[in-house]
Amino acid sequence: MHPHFKESRSLLIIPALNEEASIGRVIDGVRATGIDIDVLVIDDGSRDQTAELATKHGALVVSHPFNLGYGAAIQTGYKFAVRHGYAELVQMDADGQHDPAYVPDLLEPIRADEFDIVIGSRFVRESGYEMGSARSAGRVFFQRVLAFFGGPHIADPTSGLQALSRKAFEFCCSDFYPSDFPDIDVLLLLDRQGFRIHEVPVEMAPSPPGRKTMHAGLKTIYYPYKMLLSTFRSWRTPVSPGAR
């Protein structure tokens, strides 16, 4: 175990790119819950004080020398968790949208060995969360794409608030894992390989005003195109013997 960490069995990973305005508050929010969990911030090539502030607020920081993408940052966290022997992992965003008070709800089914991936969902029951019309249409579209390829019904397929068992995050250390947008393509592959996926209801804050999302600009065109191709690839990937 890294000397800066407690002997916790759980790791919380936070991918971050230029999040100096919120990262300290997010880490302090995790600590305020009293949850026994280690916190790792993956600084994905930030050009501001994200890494310095994360360290100041008590997190361990792993920094990429330049921006590699959200998926690459998440996978760095998975590999860290494998290397340092964690039994379970939670991932959340750095912008303050995710409430760390839900971390125990995400971990409980993992620790009970009931599920391998637990998604914090805004839509599995009414939460009052409002999503723009374009994003709502996209969510429904990708729900249907996932179902079309034989995947599970997921009410919130793009939620970044998730918990994974060690077996699941070890699997996600493989080369198939996308460096940019790990969404329904990954969920489909995990489901096909026999991993048990579940959603628990959570409430989330709205995205901060003026925040530039991962899917802005030309990515609004590239993202669905790429996701359809990678989901098809997941559907075509052979299922490992004994997966189901």
pLDDT digits (tens, 9 = 90+) for 133-180: 777 888 889 999 999 999 999 999 989 999 999 999 999 999 999 998
**Strand 162-165 relative to strand 60-64: parallel, antiparallel, unpaired?**
unpaired
Structure tokens at 225: 């195109």
Amino acid 82 reads V
pLDDT confidence tier of residue 202, bands split at 50, 70 and 90:
very high
For residue 119, pLDDT over 70 is answered with yes
Q: What is the pLDDT of residue 87?
A: 97
Check whether 4 has a pLDDT greater than 90.
no
Which tokens go with 206? 């709205």
The most confident of the ranges 5-14, 165-174, 213-222 is 165-174
pLDDT over 70 percentage in the chain: 88
- Full set of structural domains in the chain with CATH: 10-236 (3.90.550.10)
Residue 233: C-alpha distances to residues 73, 95, 147 (Å): 22, 31, 15
Beta bridge partners of 9: none
Q: How confident is the model at residue 219 (pLDDT cuts 50, 70, 90)?
A: low
Q: How far apart are CA 61 and CA 59, in angstroms?
A: 6
| Residues of the chain above pLDDT 90, percent | 71
pLDDT computed for residue 127 by the predictor: 64
* Average pLDDT of span 90-106: 96
Give the phi and the psi of residue 198 in degrees, each rounded to 5: -145, 155
pLDDT at residue 217 is higher than 60:
no
Helix, strand, coil share (%) of the chain residues, nearest 5: 40, 15, 45
Tens of pLDDT, residue by residue over 31-82, are 999 999 999 999 999 999 999 999 999 999 999 999 999 999 999 999 999 9
Quick one: average pLDDT of 200-224? 72
User: Can you tell me the mean pLDDT for 104-110?
Assistant: 97
Query: Which pTM value belongs to this model?
Result: 0.89
Query: What local confidence, expressed as pLDDT, does residue 1 receive?
Result: 44
Residue 5: per-residue pLDDT: 56
